[in-house]
Amino acid sequence: MRSFNRLLSTLTLILSLGFIVNALPSTHHSSLISYRQSTPDAYDGKTGHYQSNQRPHASSNDPPVHNEVNIPGQVWVFKGKLDTRLALLVKSTSIEDAEARTKDILSIIEAQSSQLTNLSANVSAEARLDIARVVINVFIDIISACARLSLKLGAPLVINLLADIDSAFSAYLLVLTNCVSGLGPILTNLAIHIDAGTIADLHVVGMTQCVKLLGLAGLV
């Protein structure tokens, strides 16, 4: 009987302690809630993630992010694309071929102009000279290809195609010189020293807008 009473007393004590513990506030739980609410990248129970082009807590007053532009590299890529298309243009055997290939050339020039629009690149004097040399070589290649096409198919048939190329490339020159400060005078200085054969080809193809921009009006 005494053993039974002792067991009953022990159980009563254990139950009483359990009720007391449950009645106490859960400090661990409240601390966990406080920690999660103070974590900046925790939203609705999910861990936040910022993309490489995002910044947390960005505001409209933050300065825009500018990407570095490799103008010399772009110019070389531009030349490589045009070299292939100009070679195909010269191989045209009909006005239809020439029109299709001219359209391809215009697409490349216009895409390059679009990439440079509203950009401003700070390049060294040496880089400006390299850019100018490549661009003048592209101009010479265009003149040569257009002259050969004109002689092959006849000037009256291709006059509109040549005018379209002239317009697109002159627009590219304007965008490029706006993008690279100080490039214009270097282009002009190189252009006036192009060879006599290229000047003769200019008499065939015209390219009046490019001629004016590059200061060649007195030579053509």
Closest by alpha carbon to 208, among 196, 199, 197, 220? Answer: 220
Name the pTM for this structure.
0.69
**DSSP letter (8 states) at residue 49:** -
Going residue by residue through the chain, which has 220 residues, state the pLDDT in tens, using 9 for 90 and above. 444 445 445 545 454 544 444 444 444 444 333 333 333 333 233 333 323 333 333 333 433 334 467 899 999 999 999 999 999 999 999 999 999 999 999 999 999 999 999 888 889 999 999 999 999 999 999 999 999 999 999 999 999 999 999 999 999 999 999 999 999 999 999 999 999 999 999 999 999 999 999 999 988 7
Looking at this protein, which amino acid is placed at residue 64? P
Q: CA end-to-end span of the chain, whole Å?
A: 129
* Tokens found for residue 2: 């005494």
Residue 112 φ/ψ, nearest 5 degrees: -65, -40
Cα separation values, 23 from 31, 189, 204, Å: 18, 91, 100
Domain spans of the chain?
A: 71-213
Cα separation values, 20 from 8, 15, 23, 36, Å: 19, 9, 5, 28
Residue 91 neighbours by CB distance under 10 Å: 13
Burial label for 98, CB within 10 Å (0-12, 13-18, 19+), is buried
